[in-house]
Structure 1
Amino acid sequence: MLWVEQPVTTGFSVGTANATSEEDIAADFVAWFKNWQDIFGIQNYKIYVTGESYAGRYVPYISAAMLDQNDTTYYDLSGALVYDPCIGSFVYTQQEAVAVPFVLENNNMLNLNDSLVQELQSLHESCGYQEYVDTYFTFPPAGQQPPKYFNYSDPDDLSCDVFDIIDTAALVVNNCFDVYEVTSQCPLLWDVLSFPTQLVYTPAGADTYFDRTDVKLAIHAPLNVTWGECVGAPFVGGDSGPEQEGDNSADPIQHVLPQVIEATNRVLIGNGDYDMIIITNGTLLSIQNMTWNGQLGFQTQPSEPINITMPDLAWADVFAENGGAGVDGPQGTMGIQHYERGLMWAETFQSGHMQPQYQPRVAWRHIQWVLGRIDSL
């Protein structure tokens, strides 16, 4: 397994950012990847590309660029996996349009007051989100969705920014609220990567693990780089592009993601139900706007359960020490799966944005499927 810090300026990757599109990012990656294989002499391997969040854009574009090389010695792309991915118009479709229904379904955890919920419901209707979801969140899809992009410089769009209204209100109720995992509560836990929630946080006396000098020396990383899990601007296009991120490429659902599905018939898209930064139904709504292998969207609504029979391996000894032997048994139903025309959809219960962190047994099933070792989840 190869972990890559990219695009340029991410993590320990050195150089000057110059990308204005996903095509630029993908060209850099495939050139680097070929050089890397030559250096270590590991050609002729099957390649599976995986990622999470904004990698919902990187993974399809990089995978498509590999296919375009037409060279299986270096780029034998055999499948791909993206978790909670930005595959469509992610601000409008995967956040704003589905944010209020998410609140209504999960307000027992968010605890937003009744007057705010009523205001949000009113905005959901007056801003056109309700009509959009009612029209296009159907199986099979009602038709191609019109282009919808959220413009933060437009006062009308800003007045309909229900997502940020919800996020701010949730932080008032729960100061440790996390859009990546909405069940999080105080205290604000630390993580060794210093990004435990939506807040970057390093407690007094602690260090970010990969920014420690001894760690840099051990892995031969550049000592003059200050490591961080994320960087703010890997693109140099300013606020250009459909999502005002400096990324001028089309949404992956428009071309490259269908290309990868059709070439491999082994692509998994998954979403965690406790994730609010990329909402499950928003990702499904994006899939319903994608044409692949001859049809638009899923023809049937996902409903098949994911039944996890694997016992817990991480905490079995702890349970036993506390008189709880047997509690570490199979989990049972932990999600919903659906497969059509080369694409596997996986909704994961009780999981935030980082699915392998929150539900490792479910993620293990996902990777088994992507590798072709099982036929269903």
Structure 2
Amino acid sequence: MLPMLAILGLLLLSRSTLAAPASFLDAELLSFPFFSWFSPAPSTFSELEPAVLQLSAFCNPAASDFHVNSSALPLVDFKLQDSYAGLLPITADDGEERKLFFWYWPTSAPEGSKYLTIWLNGGPGCSSLMGFLQENGPLMFLPGMDKPQPNPEGWTTASDMLFIDQPIGTGFSTGPPSVKNEEDIADQFYGFLRQFYDVFPELLAKPLIFSGESYAGYYIPFIADRINLTDAQILELEARRAQCGYDALLAQLTYPPSGPLTLPNGNTDYTPSECDLTDLFKQWCREANPCFREERITDTCPRLDDPLDTYFNRTDVQTLLHLAPTAWSECAPHSIYQTGADETTRYAEVLLPGLLAALPGGVTLWHGLLDGLLLAEGDRLTVQNLTWGGAQGFREAPSRALWEGGERRGTWHQERGLTYVEVERAGHMVPQDQPAVALRVLKYVMGLEGL
């Protein structure tokens, strides 16, 4: 261990991205502040109990498996914020034995915190619970104390905190050690983060801060560099997006629209190969996440078996449906068009103005925001470029909250017979991901209830 690293604390601020589930953050070096490795014991601690807030539920039911009643910790005789702790594997492979221990503490700040801060101790091989219980956690248990006491200067008063025992072989982490260098440690840490965000996806929205001391001065730059591998890809997509005119197109998405939208590439319905960014985006997503699905971009490994083909190819099912034995597939393996391609010369959108005038119930469109096959921005651009009912586009941006089961599930807007709904936590197949919302929209179309 280098002596200088005994007092080196390295902070890295990372911003969240929406590019892909595996590209959940993009590290940016902020500063190299210095922290004392061994904090001197304060003479007294405040007897004021820390604020205790009610935790928001996470959408993944697996999160409840890690819930901790922090106030029930032995020797603790004051109230604490509830937390989440346990072991998560470093890969999504079945039977993965290598698991890192984590302890996640939501902030106790009354106003909440937009940040998630990770704390790592050094060693190598020292548990981050050292920092939790004797440095910056919500309670202190220092030499000479007979029981833990509240820590009024704990970092949970300002930020969500995530204490992690890493690498494998450290603290409560389990499994056979298998790293040879810092690159291996960074790869395993990155794998753990992917599993962590799969259980707690709401935390993806929080910019990530790395902090640590001593040998963590080695760990953190390599971990940040591993995460930062996606940065060059994101920058390339952003640069090509601007060069191909997509930024200029998105800039025309205003409410109300200022006029007909001008398409890229000379206002022609043509996309040169160098501007076909969809395939490149999907390729990079699959390199980062082998189980990436464009229909729902948050999917991770393991990929679950789909029972449809097996079920509808059962002879007893086909007999009951009055069918002779036949091969059924979810989607046709061949083109359904005689010439192999759809030769329609008009887009379906051009039919909407006439339909809106003719249909008494109007038209309702919806879009799942986790859909990577079709993008919600495309829907918004299409609506804003349509003219119906004597005006072009929506006068106001969709902003009305869609509530279901006491939770906000999306945003919607209606003008002149056209309703547009964006559904949160739903991919390409909205009824599969948000069945209650889908049923609600159907009843709205039927005139049985409002949104």
* Superposed pair shares fold, TM > 0.5: yes
Task: Name which of 368, 388, 395 aligns with 1:292.
Answer: 388
Check if 1:127 corresponds to 2:213.
Answer: no
Structure 2: how far apart are the matches of 1:183 and 1:143? 36
Task: Name which of 13, 18, 37 aligns with 1:105.
Answer: 18
Contact 1:141 1:299 in 2 (8 A): yes
Pick the structure with greater CA Rg.
2
1:215–1:148: structure 2 CA closer, same or farther, 3 Å change rule?
farther
The residue type paired with residue 354 of structure 2 is Q
RMSD across aligned positions (CA): 1.9
Structure 1: how far apart are the matches of 2:233 and 2:390? 44
Check if 1:334 corresponds to 2:409.
Answer: yes
Structure 1: how far apart are the matches of 2:339 and 2:353? 26
Task: Name which of 287, 296, 301 aligns with 1:186.
Answer: 301
Structure 2: how far apart are the matches of 1:334 and 1:261? 26
Task: Name which of 390, 402, 423 aligns with 1:348.
Answer: 423
Shift of 1:295: 1.4
Q: Which residue of 1 aligns with 2:356?
A: 261
Task: Name which of 254, 265, 281 aligns with 2:377.
Answer: 281
Shift of 1:354: 0.3
Q: Secondary structure at the match of 1:288?
A: helix
Unaligned regions of 5+ residues in structure 2, if any? 1-15, 25-228
Q: Which residue of 1 aligns with 2:444?
A: 369
Check if 1:162 corresponds to 2:75.
Answer: no
TM-score when scaled to structure 2? Answer: 0.48
Q: Which residue of 1 aligns with 2:258?
A: 142
Shift of 1:247: 3.2
1:354–1:108: structure 2 CA closer, same or farther, 3 Å change rule?
closer
Q: Which residue of 2 aligns with 1:227?
A: 328
Shift of 1:121: 0.7
Contact 1:253 1:289 in 2 (8 A): no
The residue type paired with residue 237 of structure 1 is T
Shift of 1:108: 5.7
Q: Secondary structure at the match of 1:356?
A: helix
Q: Which residue of 1 aligns with 2:223?
A: none
Structure 2: how far apart are the matches of 1:275 and 1:336? 15
Relative to its length, the structure with more strand (as a share) is 2
Structure 2: how far apart are the matches of 1:193 and 1:257? 34
Contact 1:109 1:182 in 2 (8 A): no
Q: Secondary structure at the match of 1:367?
A: helix
Unaligned regions of 5+ residues in structure 1, if any? 1-102, 152-156, 195-206, 239-244, 310-329
Shift of 1:228: 1.4
Q: Give the paired residue count.
A: 226
Over the matched positions of the two proteins, sequence identity in percent amounts to 31
The residue type paired with residue 255 of structure 2 is F
1:165–1:106: structure 2 CA closer, same or farther, 3 Å change rule?
closer
Shift of 1:304: 0.5
Q: Which residue of 1 aligns with 2:231?
A: 114
User: CA-to-partner distance for each residue in 1:222-257, whole Å, 9 max, x for gaps?
Assistant: 423x2112124122234xxxxxx4231411111x22
Structure 1: how far apart are the matches of 2:321 and 2:249? 50
Structure 1: how far apart are the matches of 2:257 and 2:422? 19
Shift of 1:275: 0.3
Relative to its length, the structure with more helix (as a share) is 1
Q: Larger RCO: Structure 1 or Structure 2 (Cα < 8 Å, ≥ 6 residues apart)? A: 1
